[in-house]
Chain A
Amino acid sequence: MILDEEVFAVIVALAVVASAVGIASIWRPQGEGFVAIGLSDENCRIGLYPRSAAPGSNLTLCISVFNYLGRPAAYMVSYKVALNTSQLPTNTTPSSRTPLVTWVGALGDRSNRTFLVNVSVPGDAVVGSRVALVFELWLLDPRSGTWVYSGRWVHVWVQIVE
């Protein structure tokens, strides 16, 4: 069987496309970086979050932090308790509440870390009310030398019971 011109043309066309895609993938610019934070239960699984807690009790939760910024990053997870929705953080502003505990660490690019945290529900929480356990993700800005809120947070609402 002798290959005819059309078959050769198709093979050359495939070579051109493969070459273009290969070169583009070598020199493609870094995409927009992002960080993320996740919250799961004490077994580090999604779904079985605590629904109620007594004032002053401890809860074990699992935090996951993801770094896809395209560079190493130093992070801080800040734990706060919000008493109502107006005290929750937004994409641009952190919660106005005072941090109760912080966890810090460093992550390389395209890496993540999952760790258990033991947080306490405030002892002065009113029985019958709902509070949000808020975990905010902050990043160390090496230019200003300060911790900057990343705009990422997770929270879980719990009912305060006796």
Chain B
Amino acid sequence: MLWIGFVSKLRALGPFTLLLTLIALATLSNHSVASQDPCSPGALSEVVRSLEELSSKFVDVGEAVEYLDQLLKACNGGDVDRASFIYSKLAETLSTLREYSERRFREVIAYRIAYTVFLALLPPLTYILLPRVYLYLWYLSRRRWAVVKRK
């Protein structure tokens, strides 16, 4: 309600003011993310949280973990420039992995379901097909046999 009231007041100021305010808010919002200290506990926690989430969706996070390892070492060594550089690469990698994660999750679940169905069908298929296949092969191997009436 407070937010709606705020927006309606802004609208009363005119479209130009509203536009300027929205640009300013967007700039501030972007600035707070971009200028986040890569060595801060918040930034590191966010990275670990993302890795956990991606890992739970069966995404291979090996490369991102390697970046995090380098980031932690750079932070521990006080090399902020290197930490910022690695953090940007890590953010890029995580973004790419996130785009891929849903598809990967669906693929793995589909594979598991298909494999489960196959395994569940194995006993009835064995029960139905094994005697038939065995008999077919048995007759096949003896098709050249001649039947002679016993005297």
Chain A binding surface, main DSSP class: mixed
Q: Are B48 and A140 in contact (CB under 8 A)?
A: yes
Q: Are B134 and A74 in contact (CB under 8 A)?
A: no
* Interface residue range, chain A: 20 to 34
- Which of these, A2, A22, A103, A145, contacts B45 with CB under 8 Å? A145
- Which of these, B56, B65, B71, B131, contacts A108 with CB under 8 Å? B65
Most chain A beta-carbon neighbours within 10 Å: one of B42, B61, B65, B131: B65
Q: Are A107 and B65 in contact (CB under 8 A)?
A: yes
- Which of these, A18, A71, A140, contacts B44 with CB under 8 Å? A140
* Interface residue range, chain B: 35 or more
- Contact bitstring A1-43, B, C-beta under 8 A = 1, else 0: 0110000100110011011001100110000000000000000
Q: Are A8 and B130 in contact (CB under 8 A)?
A: yes
Count of A-B residue pairs with CB < 8 Å: 91
**Complex: A147 Cα to B66 Cα, angstroms:** 19
Q: Does B33 contact A (CB under 8 A)?
A: no
Q: Are B120 and A19 in contact (CB under 8 A)?
A: yes
Q: Are B62 and A105 in contact (CB under 8 A)?
A: no
**Complex: A2 Cα to B122 Cα, angstroms:** 22
**Complex: A50 Cα to B9 Cα, angstroms:** 74
Q: Are A72 and B122 in contact (CB under 8 A)?
A: no
Report A's interface with B, CB cutoff 8 A: 2-3, 8, 11-12, 15-16, 18-19, 22-23, 26-27, 71-74, 102-109, 140-146
Report B's interface with A, CB cutoff 8 A: 41-42, 44-46, 48-49, 51-52, 55-56, 61-62, 64-66, 68-69, 71-73, 75-76, 112, 115-116, 119-120, 122-123, 126-127, 130-131, 134, 138
